Amino acid sequence: MSTAGRGSPHVAVLAFPFSTHAAPLLAVIRRLATATPDTLYSFFSTADSIASIFSASNDLPNVRAYDVGDGVPEGYVRVGKPQEDIELFLRAAPANFRKGMEEAVAKTGRRVSCLVTDAFFWFCADMAAEMELPWVAFWTAGPASLSAHLYTEHLRQTLGVCRGIDGREDETLQFIPGMSKVRIRDLPEGVVFGNLDSLFSRMLCDMGRALPRAAAVFLNSFEELDPTITADLKSKLNNFLNVGPFNLIATPPRASDESRCMSWLDGQGRASVAYISFGSVTVPPREEIVELADALEASQVPFIWSLKDHSRENLPEGFLKRIETRGMMVAWAPQEEVLRHDAVGAFITHCGWNSLLESIGGGGVAMICRPFFGDQRLNGRMMEEVWGLGVGVEGGVFTKKAVMNCLQLLLSQERGEIVRDNMRALRRQAEKAVGPDGSSTRNFKLLLELLSIP
């Protein structure tokens, strides 16, 4: 029997509470809720996740947060294995989400009409079918990585993974649409190399099988960035909807700047500053922090480095004193505003998807990519070889020489201006996509229609 009753729609939103998954999902839900005030959005995540992403004063009455269990049994003693908390959460998630939805229905008197979930939740294909509801999945990364997961079984069969890929890491994926410049080594772990039986590998493979059953899959990107991959995914999914970049749709409130990054940048020359940040999760190993610091000091390039306080103990002795007149070390920086400043000419980054989009939406900042895990290598390869937005670090790890070469290339040579021109051209396409008649605007309207069916 259907749980979707007549009357106003009630969308249940199931968030993945780890890494930076829940926050971008909430951002798009808030945008949807603003456009559809009669639709109720019940947002489910763990208590810690809810506390970290919901402000004290939620100004949208049709968005309500509900805590779900984290899956850790009472009295459980962690054994310290990788992804232990994620495994515990996922094991209990289907039952916990069902319980949460029953609570929301009881409190509001409105039956659930649609499931919007993180794409990781492959089990929602069956859950939605049992509840006779449409399932709409949100992919938090880019089109290329989504394609890799949809093609996982095809990749394994074509590459003969059972025979191993040693010595073939530089082979390109000519047989996958839009991936002709992508090498085997650029794929996320668990697709064709690494532990193919790990929790994440099995989860993403199951997701790739399940997503064609979704009523729609949407993501924070724009069609013009990856036209070939977009066309291919449209042929494989019921509704593949690029609805971003989010950072060009709504200007966020001005972030606090306690470290005075912006006033410091006002005193620097155009495209002369390097900005360094690896997101909220990634921390380079100690030896690479030392190499990066040595390169910044030797190059004499002015810089802002966003580095958590606990990681500063890995800096070379006396470094902070020696660079105090031309460098800023901060625990946090208003990244989007920094990247929009004319003084910033290079962004040293892990190439996470959100950082990449923020760079495109900035003032034309060339990227220097040192990827670490997940989709970062794939993003970096697309950034350098397909879109021409920057360079990768030679050898894939920070060395003093490799970083100095990248800085010189992008800040002191013609290559840097070419890259910044490419970045500005792509930004214009992104701005057009989110404009009144743009592709992302049309896709967002279609998403609204899908969620507005009671």
Task: Tell me the catalytic residues.
Answer: 21, 118
The DSSP call for residue 163 is G
Reference 338, options 251, 419, 262, 279; nearest CA is: 262
* Alpha-carbon gap, residue 288 to 397, rounded angstroms: 7
What DSSP letter does each residue of 69-107 carry, written as one string? --S--TT------TTHHHHHHHHHHHHHHHHHHHHHHHH
SS3 (DSSP) at 333: coil
Q: Is the dihedral of CA 46, 53, 118, 105 positive or negative?
A: positive
Which H or E run contains 227?
A: helix 227-236
Closest CA to 447 of 294, 269, 220: 220
> CB count, 10 Å around CB of 184?
18
Cβ distance 25 to 49 under 8 Å? Answer: no
Confirm if 356 and 363 have CB atoms less than 8 A apart.
no
Within a 10 A sphere around the Cβ of 433, how many other Cβ atoms? 25
Asked if 12 and 104 touch (Cβ cutoff 8 Å), the reply is yes
Sequence-ordered alpha helix ranges (H) in 267-329: 286-299, 319-322
Instruction: Residue 32: name the closest of 347, 439, 444 by CA.
Output: 444
